[in-house]
Amino acid sequence: MLEGSSTLDTKALTGESMPEEVNAGQNIVSGSINLTGVLKVQTTKLFDDSTVAKILELVENASSRKAKAEAFITRFARVYTPAVVILAALLAVLPPLALGGAWSTWVYRACSFLVVSCPCALVISVPLSFFGGLGAASRQGILMKGSNYLEAMGSLDTAVFDKTGTLTTGKFEVTDVAPVHGSREELLELAALGEYNSNHPIALSVKKAYGKEADTSRIGEVEEISGHGIHAQILKDGVWKNLYIGNQKLMDSQKVKVDTPAAVLGTTLYLAEEDTYLGCIVISDSVRPDVPAMLAGLKKQGVNKLVMLTGDKEEVGKKVAESIGITHVFGNLLPGDKVAKVEQLLKEKPEGKTLAFVGDGINDAPVLARADVGIAMGGIGSDAAVEAADVVIMDDEPSKIVDAICIARKTVGIVKQNIIFAIAVKILVLVLVALGYVGMWAAVFGDVGVSVLAILNAIRALSYKK
């Protein structure tokens, strides 16, 4: 950056929840959003070497390494169909030649054998069960891009989460007001007056917390001190006072002694009148209301490992994780670091189990593509995240992940029931037909009757109650 100073929103790229103060001489990541000042920036890399281009490359590489499980019914049909046709032909030819007897009897049995062996029940009911499961999920606002991802959700063992915008709202709000002199309302009023002309996210959250129309006649000259805060002249008790609102650096420059320790979870805004410390206001990103219920539901469903990966500071990530009950936390991660960490977790998960990653930002796109199941927040999520994900939660409620698991397990259970029922009945009727104990009526039941029963069972996948 050549000239200027401003505040940048980088959370879509790095996951850093708080805006970043930048000044001349600092490097700026492409894709950042300028919030306040005017900047003169020199481009130092070609597009192919930019942060966004590298993220897209990671998505493509991760997608190419993602295994596609072959459907059971396809593997089964490759062996089953030619096998039963050969057996029917042998049943029609070999017994008359070896044992004698009427050819018409054995040809009739062979035809009945072929009728029973028709895999209609499997071919229709298995996909229909998955279609029902996908329909039940869509009714809950959960869009899945294929039945293989529905099946994978049923065997979920490890859930990995991004923090900002996924577990938290990604919106800043005042979470604590700690006055040293005066009341809570007075401290908020002074902060709102000083921040009245600012459009900074922190200033907006202070004004929202104050909740009243500011008396602009009490606001004098306002000076923004880059990287420190604001110096404003405020009319108080008929006298103009110098009010300082900002970070610890601003308090140190004004020789103000701060009695309140800085908050780990969020940004602390200190206020001083002349050289007297007035108190502080804590602004932080709040946890989504349904996150605790989601984590409890995941544990109840047997998801044994809950992990948080964030580009935010590790101490902030740990504080959030501690408040909601996640024990595995990794912070200060760039998009490539998140992919590497998920690669490691994929190696550690049990055989036959799956790993899901839940995210919303551009920086989450590569790891969404690499996970067994990528889950994106559809409402606030970036286009890149939604494109790379396998499952999209349309209303941004993380608790819907638990619903997705329940629907998936119910659907997979119905599929297994249909497969076992259809194969068992067909084998039984095939044997009875071959031995001549039953005729064409049983063969028709073994085909059409079993198909109807399997389809009726598959329809159950459409219904889901929490």
- For 403, the token pair is 């619903």
Report strand pairing: 305-309 vs 328-330: parallel
CB 159 within 8 A of CB 401: yes
Amino acid at 152: A
Phi, psi dihedral angles at 92 (to 5 degrees): -80, -25
List the one residue out of 297, 310, 290, 293 whose CA is nearest residue 169: 290
Helix (H, G, I), strand (E, B) or coil at 26: coil
List, in sequence order, the alpha helices (H) in 118-146. Answer: 120-139
Q: What is the dihedral of CA 397, 399, 401, 404, to 10 degrees?
A: -100
Helix (H, G, I), strand (E, B) or coil at 96: helix
Element (H, E) at 245: strand 239-246
Distance CA 446, CA 329 (A): 55
Distance CA 404, CA 370 (A): 20
Tokens 């497969």 belong to residue = 419
Instruction: Point out the catalytic residue in the list 162, 285, 372, 396.
Output: 162
Please give the order of strands across the beta sheet that includes 328-330: 142-144, 391-393, 373-377, 354-359, 156-161, 305-309, 328-330
* Numbers of helices and strands, H then E, in the chain: 17, 16
Give the distance between the most distant pair of CA atoms in the chain: 121
What per-residue string of b and e applies to 93-125 under the rule 16 or more CB within 10 Å gives b? eebbeeeeeeeeebebbbbbbbbbbbbebbebb
285 is catalytic: no
Q: Is the dihedral of CA 27, 30, 36, 40 positive or negative?
A: positive
Distance CA 93, CA 407 (A): 48
DSSP 384-413: HHHHH-SEEETT--TTHHHHHHHHHHHHHH
Which residue numbers are catalytic? 162
